[in-house]
Chains A and B, each alone.
Chain A
């Protein structure tokens, strides 16, 4: 599953995340977010790290070009 992690910078250290089995997609340092791929067990381990929040990536969809509302 594609997940997004937030939390203090120390909690998002790449080594700590790698130990849990997270496959890091991107580390967005400026906004303090890590995105990556994780299975259910990995998500459990991630959630156990103090300060880390794990949320599932969501799709965003705007209307087609000719729709009445944009």
Chain B
């Protein structure tokens, strides 16, 4: 292309206008939002005369009601407010993006499609990863910085991925032996706590509860030791339904569920249960409580049990309670993890790491410790559910389905591991393709006198 073509060359890059995408709301609401948030006066496309440029329109932009999209001509600083509204689930504004010139590909040179490449990369990055295959040979191990389970459930995202949903705004209720209220890792993380054990405070005299709460929602940078919490921005509701010696009753557990629903828990994690015989049905009361929880938007996840090749225990065997199996470091079902021998709720729904899990224990017992069991797998799933719930806004049954849908299938049977490994939602990083560079002749360097080879 010669320099003479600069004048009639096609425009490229951002146009200076912005495109605002709205959720499926009526025109009045969308235009009202633009006016309230950014002071933008949008004309309705159905009421304006056909126009060539926005300058002809009376207003800051035009709203296309059938598309739910507005094109505005506005100073960038006014759009800052709209961009902040994108992250607000209460706002109908879904996206604010610069309008760009778009051309048929062969009318411009390849090095001028940079914006298109970036656009495509941005779209790609927003799609869920389809790389749902597991490396068969992969064996996970703790590292100095994180527990192996975090890597397995992708709380530590795979290479070239990020895990931007951290569980912020989500509440996880852990119904267990309480928690060590003095543990520095939980400072400011516990919204509410309640003991259902007569004569005992919430303070964890066992260590099981502190370990499970840590796996579900332990902080990103613990005071000491490696990272161990899946949903590090979720907050905790601690219901003590098991005594310091680890015992409780179904009545205390039901009282704990009742409390957790009242506290508007999004996820209720129950690393507890009692063994069930082959052919034994689920308990009506646990099922009734679980249905009430789902209806209120609380998803109950429970440990399948550690009896080995025996039926899933109660309450995990209730149809409306999500049953969690335990996996070892090579993502095989742990030999102790109960299996689906009974129907009618006795299925395994998902699996998660539950062997040699590093997490918090009471400060008096060393602050950190390693435990194994389906009890350890369950809070991994609670953390995953919190992060999924934050990403999707799904609650109750919708969150259950999403958790199963996004689980990574495993080679073992559904009877052993259900839908597979529960994983944190991740997004692929945008890969920016560098624009090809035009060839330029380099400087010619004088090699200097050539020495004749010495004989």
Contact surface of A with B, Cβ cutoff 8 Å? 2, 4-6, 25-26, 28-33, 35, 53, 55, 57-65, 68-70
Contact = CB atoms under 8 A, between A and B. Distances in A.
Given A30-B261, A68-B372, A70-B371, A57 B284 contact: no
B292 interface: yes
A69 B251 contact: no
Contact of A70 (B208, B254, B274): B208
B208 A65 contact: yes
A17 B271 CA distance: 33
19 contacts: A4-B285, A28-B254, A30-B262, A33-B258, A33-B285, A35-B255, A53-B285, A58-B249, A58-B283, A58-B314, A59-B274, A60-B248, A63-B246, A64-B246, A65-B206, A68-B372, A69-B306, A69-B372, A70-B375
A56 to B, nearest CB: 9
B311 interface: no
A69 B247 contact: no
A63 to B, nearest CB: 7
Contacts, number: 107
A29 B259 CA distance: 10
Contacts of B246: 61-65
Size class of B's contact patch? Answer: 35 or more
Given A33-B289, A65-B206, A57 B375 contact: no
B288 A6 contact: yes
A59 B365 CA distance: 27
Most buried by B among A32, A33, A59: A33
B285 A6 contact: yes
Contacts of B375: 62, 70
Interface string B239-266: 0001001111111011101100110000
Contacts of A65: 206-208, 246, 365
B258 A31 contact: yes
Which 8 residue pairs of A and B lie closest in terms of their CB atoms, listed nearest first? A70-B373, A31-B289, A62-B246, A28-B258, A35-B251, A70-B375, A53-B284, A6-B288
Interface in B260-298: 261-262, 271-274, 283-285, 288-289, 292-293, 296
A58 B274 contact: yes
Contacts of B255: 26, 28, 35
A4 B248 contact: no
A70 B271 contact: yes
Given A62-B208, A69-B373, A26 B251 contact: yes
Given A26-B251, A68-B372, 8 more contacts: A2-B249, A2-B251, A32-B288, A60-B242, A60-B247, A61-B246, A62-B177, A65-B246
B376 interface: yes
A69 B285 contact: no
B251 A4 contact: yes
A32 B376 contact: no
B31 interface: no
A49 to B, nearest CB: 14
A29 B296 CA distance: 13
B292 A31 contact: yes
B211 interface: yes
A42 to B, nearest CB: 17
A70 B261 contact: no
Nearest to B307: A69
B336 interface: yes
